[in-house]
A and B are shown apart, each in its own frame.
Chain A
């Protein structure tokens, strides 16, 4: 289980997280929603140790994220970045098999390539994509390659940061389906950030809304439409008026 307790993070004078408390049970999919700039990505980066919180505790299966062997800790994670974050200098298969070509999970090159191609197939890409470079692919294909890289080493925990941003509705649907299948098949714990309400309903077991640096509401996805929280209502219905201030 991923447990965040009273997590604070400030950048300069901007207090992004002001005491976030959230539990994500093992093998469930939690989607975090909230306006732009409310600290959703910072929250994921705090769990991964990419950003160090100013205060509070974050544990994974009871172990604080900053303790213990960092490589072993990170080996349990896969992450799909918002922009894909594929390495431009490496062909697609080496991007997917990056973790399998070095470090503790290193495999022989032919085996790593085989796994990479299998993962590419898993996300609906044909093997002839394997030797292309990321710049040669469309945005949707890059997102799928990034998804293949996130699942290449069969992680126990997967983070998805805006998995459907910039994609057309059909490609978004494909990615949502893939994420749901992967999480169900692999039994992984997933945390997803998205603004896309279709994705929320497709991916989530539970939903948490981050607003004002705090978790404003959390509950099962089925309760989202009856949350009784005006902030959640305004957000999920995309209303310009409501308690969430908008700049015009």
Chain B
């Protein structure tokens, strides 16, 4: 009886210990990455390249996502608001919803799908083809050369993507508002501006920075710890996207609690 209970506890404890060990490894990896900020050399060219790959090239997907989300949001709020004769709140709710929640979260998830996968696949392939070992033998620290530029670029680029996404999302709502919901253009824009506070925008940008950090960190971590062969790289890529997406949603809740709970 006692033996069976011990076996059950061991079976339950094993995944818990594995999860705790994984969390610890990721925390150490994050601390190591950040610590390289203060230790030269800094590879500016790699940083610039990562900025283009993560920021500039993610703009179309983030912009399109925001545009359709803003439009759908306007339709939903209009339909829901009609039950309470509150159709007039469409512009302000679209704006607040976009900048506080949907802009950063959907932008972060889109960047996770696009960037975490690509970083994990690239670094994972470098690992299995001994390119990471080659970097070390060429006196170049892989964390400095591969991880720090990508994590820093994502942390800086995602808030900019979120800001652009916010603007496009609000524009999507405005387009639907004036073409489908008979809003007056000037009134729609005035209501958007009047009800939006600087902190609404700022909180979304801070979320964007945190999400960018998490996305690149997960891409790099899973790439650096990729298994052997095509299957190993595939698994690393999948793990990076899943981990980044879950962490974004969890971090979003925590940050919302921190910023807006009474």
- Hey, which bits of chain A sit against chain B, CB under 8 A? 45, 48-50, 70-71, 74-75, 77-79, 81-83, 85-88, 98-99, 102-105, 149
Binds A, one of B14-22, B90-98, B137-145, B224-232: B137-145
Bound Cα distance A99, B139 (Å): 7
Contact B133 A50 (CB under 8 A): yes
Is B131 interfacial (CB 8 A cutoff)? yes
Is B81 interfacial (CB 8 A cutoff)? no
Against A, the Cβ 8 Å flags (1 = close, 0 = not) of B35-59 are 0000001010000000000000000
Contact B133 A85 (CB under 8 A): yes
A214 to chain B: closest CB distance in Å? 25
Contact A85 B139 (CB under 8 A): no
Number of A-B contacts (CB under 8 A): 49
* A residues in contact with B136, CB < 8 Å: 48-50, 74
- Interface size counted on chain B using CB atoms at 8 A: 14
Contact A81 B41 (CB under 8 A): no
Contact B137 A102 (CB under 8 A): no
Is B134 interfacial (CB 8 A cutoff)? yes
What's the dominant secondary structure at chain A's contact region?
A: mixed
User: Given A70, A85, A102, A103, which contacts B131 in the complex, CB threshold below 8 Å?
Assistant: A85
User: Given B126, B137, B139, which contacts A50 in the complex, CB threshold below 8 Å?
Assistant: B137
A18 to chain B: closest CB distance in Å? 23
Is B256 interfacial (CB 8 A cutoff)? no
Known contacts: A74-B139, A99-B138, A102-B140. The answer to whether A45 contacts B41 by CB under 8 A is: no
* Given A81-B130, A81-B134, A87-B134; 17 other pairs, CB 8 A cutoff: A45-B133, A48-B137, A50-B133, A50-B136, A74-B139, A77-B137, A83-B129, A83-B130, A85-B129, A85-B130, A85-B131, A85-B134, A98-B138, A99-B139, A102-B140, A105-B139, A149-B138
User: Given B43, B126, B129, B130, which contacts A102 in the complex, CB threshold below 8 Å?
Assistant: B43
Interface centre among B43, B126, B129 (most CB of A within 10 A): B129
Bound Cα distance A78, B43 (Å): 22
B128 and chain A: residue at smallest CB distance: A83
Bound Cα distance A98, B43 (Å): 13
* B residues in contact with A104, CB < 8 Å: 139
A236 to chain B: closest CB distance in Å? 27
